[in-house]
Amino acid sequence: MFLEIKDLSVKIENKNILKRLNLNINKGEVHAIMGPNGSGKSTLANVLAGKEDYEILNGRINFKDNDLFDLNIEERAQEGMFLAFQYPVEIPGVNITPFLHSAINSKRKRMNEEEIDNLSFAKLLKSKANDLGINIDMLKRSVNTGFSGGEKKRYEILQMSILNPDLAILDETDSGLDIDALKIVTDGVNKLKTNDNSFLIITHYQKLLNYIKPDYVHVMVNGSIVKSGGSEIAAEIEKDGFQKFQ
Amino acid sequence: MNIQDNYLKNKKNIFFSENKDIQSHREKLINIFENDRFDKKNNESLKNINLKNFIDFKYKYLIPEEKSVINNNEKNSYSIVSINGQCSSYKDDKIEITKILDEDYNDFSKNDIIENNDHFVNLNSLFLNSGFKIVIKKNNNIKIKISNIITDDDLTIFQKNNYICEEGSSLNLIEEYENRNNSTSNILNVIKLEKNSKLNHFLIQDNSPNHNLIITTHSSCKNDSTYTQKVYNFSEGYVRNFHYSELIEANSEADLQGIFFLKDNNTSNNKTFVKHLAEDCKSNQVYKGILNDRSKATYFSNTHVDQVAQRTEGYQLSKGVLLSDNASYFSKPELKIYADDVKCSHGSTIGPIDENAIFYLRSRGMSKIAATKILISSFINEELSSIDNEQMSEIINKKLVRYLSKVK
């Protein structure tokens, strides 16, 4: 199993968010989690990425034969996990290019791969930015600083395509995107998809899933997955909402 | 020993002690200390320090055996090594360096704002034992680098330097304070900018833990002149940076910036005070601090806009990053506006490093320590990238790397 979440219960500030949640993802699969506001979707994404604000009450998570709880935030990233943030953080003064260069090299170092030099990295970055319709001038700016909502999401996908993760978690990447930006972002994701990597896509709406075809759709309500199936569930939610699952 | 006895005992080593006017001014200052006539509780200059240590001190001054060095290797560029606050005389067609004279003492002693509140300046006036005067002659564009060397342990340097930028002149001044001995330097820089002159003043402070450095600057700007000051404090010993600026004629500007990097038990007190006394003047006061371990800092920024100072622009900003729960930074911005057509603002933010930013960077594979360091660097990136002097930029970056290497 690529990612196995077993009986996961999590709380934050005395509030139980995830309740005995189970989810298995195999290599090469695309899973979508849909759910109403406050159902715990972003908490799941943050817990997977290692955010330290949460208390794990119960359960375990295995990722690529590692106990995920044995890995800190950066080790998870270096092992191939990537979280595309719902609200990417603005970091004034940290330039995009050296930051991404350092990120890719920290991953390569852990994998005992040779570090990528400045010139090769610049070429890689330029070509990936072109693919995503990102203006080269944007790469001279500080991380997410002064970006529009759409630019931030595009930049998340640029980072994803540079870091080429084994498991990418997209936390409401579609929110705040107009239809053209959504197409660019989802094209970027589809280009990256292979039989060796997996995606966990968190969204409220079916719209995103029209562009990225999931193998499985899960409905998450009140901290647990209450129904799993294929794309037909997304259509069902689009038609009737989440009411019937609550 | 009380101030009066200390003064009388060391009188022969103190500048201008035979001058009757100066003597009478000093008696007035002694009275301020002796009669305890100042409010210790609410006095900003006394936060986080024990004044007794600075009043009840052992006076020691040595006239340096070596002469200070003045080099004029490159065109319009001078390097000076000042020893125990002294500098040899020098003169060419662009600059003139002399000892300070009685009249240079008097020109500042009438400043009530400082005299009534700033006891370190009063101590400087009382025990003055060194200093020099530099005049940049009309329409010259000059660079000066001054290395301030203290030769022995336990010295008490009370130094006053006067800088005069004549009409149309421009001075790029770098002052380095990097002392490793156990001494105290109390330095007062008095700067006068004549019409259409410019001074870019950089101060690099990097003293060892037992060296106390107290620097006070007073600048006055005439028509169309600009005073810019950038202070970089990497010292491991106590540093006080107080800067008073008066915009006395129209279209003049004062830009006072500082960054301090504190660790261990170190303390730094900072103050900027800008007085707008004429129309169409601009001021900017920006101080940023990074505090680790149990270090403490204060920053008081004051903008005073006189009723005649219409169309004033005055900005204040204070920011601090606390790298430890035990570090503390107290900041107080203050605006006093008596004119009605002004643009003024102030802001102050102090807190730990943004945990969300740390999480974001770590989620891309960066270690916690690397993420912390990159965020500290980014906090002062704007100030560092604005240094247009390559040599300065290199020096500051090296010191920053050294500071960051101790951040865990």
DSSP state of A89: P
Is A115 part of the contact surface with chain B (CB cutoff 8 Å)?
no
C-alpha span between B120 and B126 (Å, rounded): 10
Say whether A77 and B370 touch across the interface (CB within 8 A): no
Q: CA B112, B220, B104 angle in degrees (round to 5)?
A: 70
Please list, in sequence order, all residues whose beta carbon lies within 8 angstroms of the beta carbon of residue B57, skipping any fewer than 6 positions away.
B6, B156, B184
Q: Is it the case that residue B48 has pLDDT exceeding 80? A: no
- Half-sphere exposure (Cβ direction) of B341: Cα atoms closer than 13 Å: 8
Q: B356 vs chain A: nearest CA distance in angstroms?
A: 7
Q: Provide the pLDDT for residue A71.
A: 96
User: Using 50, 70 and 90 to split pLDDT, how confident is the model at B114?
Assistant: low
DSSP state of B205: E
Question: Residue for token digits 């562009």?
Answer: A211
Q: Provide the pLDDT for residue B262.
A: 98
Q: Which residue of B has its CA nearest to A50?
A: B363
The pLDDT tens digits of the residues spanning B340-358 come to 999 999 999 999 999 999 9
Q: What is the pTM of this model?
A: 0.89
Q: Which residue of B has its CA nearest to A156?
A: B364
Please list, in sequence order, all residues whose beta carbon lies within 8 angstroms of the beta carbon of residue B87, skipping any fewer than 6 positions away.
B68, B70, B80, B97, B132
Q: Is it the case that residue A228 has pLDDT exceeding 90? A: yes
User: Using 50, 70 and 90 to split pLDDT, how confident is the model at B110?
Assistant: low
CB B91 within 8 A of CB B120: no
User: Using 50, 70 and 90 to split pLDDT, how confident is the model at B3?
Assistant: confident
Q: Provide the pLDDT for residue A28.
A: 95
Mutation choice for A interface testing from B360, B368, B385 by most A CBs within 10 A:
B360
- Residue closest to B102 by CA, chosen among B29, B161, B25, B16: B16
The pLDDT tens digits of the residues spanning A37-79 come to 999 999 999 999 999 999 999 999 999 999 999 999 999 999 9
Question: Residue for token digits 């094209």?
Answer: A187
Identity of the residue in A52, A76, A91 whose CB atom sits nearest the CB atom of B360: A91
Identity of the residue in B365, B379, B380 whose CB atom sits nearest the CB atom of A74: B365
User: Which residues on B lie below 8 Å from A171 (Cβ)?
Assistant: none
Say whether B360 and A77 touch across the interface (CB within 8 A): no
C-alpha span between B328 and B333 (Å, rounded): 17
Q: Provide the pLDDT for residue B396.
A: 94
Mean pLDDT estimate for chain A: 92
Q: Which residue of A has its CA nearest to B362?
A: A74
Q: How far is CA A123 from the centre of its chain?
A: 25
CB B3 within 8 A of CB B34: yes
Strands (E), B195-252: 198-205, 212-221, 226-233, 239-247
User: Which residues on B lie below 8 Å from A76 (Cβ)?
Assistant: 363
Two tokens at A8?
């996961």
CATH classification (class only), A3-245: alpha beta
User: Which residues on A lie below 8 Å from B381 (Cβ)?
Assistant: 92-94
CB A166 within 8 A of CB A80: yes
Q: Provide the pLDDT for residue B40.
A: 65
Amino acid at A224: S
Q: Provide the pLDDT for residue B115.
A: 61
Q: A106 vs chain B: nearest CA distance in angstroms?
A: 6
Other CB atoms closer than 10 Å to residue A170's CB: what's the count? 27
Is B370 part of the contact surface with chain A (CB cutoff 8 Å)?
yes
Please list, in sequence order, all residues whose beta carbon lies within 8 angstroms of the beta carbon of residue B371, skipping any fewer than 6 positions away.
B357, B358, B361, B362
Percent of residues, chain A, with pLDDT higher than 90? 72
Q: Is it the case that residue B37 has pLDDT exceeding 70? A: no
Mean pLDDT estimate for chain B: 92
Say whether A103 and B356 touch across the interface (CB within 8 A): no
Two tokens at B4?
């009066």
Instruction: Write down the domain spans for chain A.
Output: 3-245
Q: Provide the pLDDT for residue A246.
A: 78
CB B149 within 8 A of CB B183: no
C-alpha span between A73 and A51 (Å, rounded): 7
The pLDDT tens digits of the residues spanning B372-402 come to 999 999 999 889 988 888 888 999 999 999 9
Q: Which residue of B has its CA nearest to A92?
A: B378
Q: Is it the case that residue B73 has pLDDT exceeding 80? A: no
Q: B378 vs chain A: nearest CA distance in angstroms?
A: 4
* Touching A: B residues 295-354, CB under 8 Å: 354
Q: Is it the case that residue B38 has pLDDT exceeding 80? A: no
User: Which residues on A lie below 8 Å from B359 (Cβ)?
Assistant: 49, 51-52, 73, 89
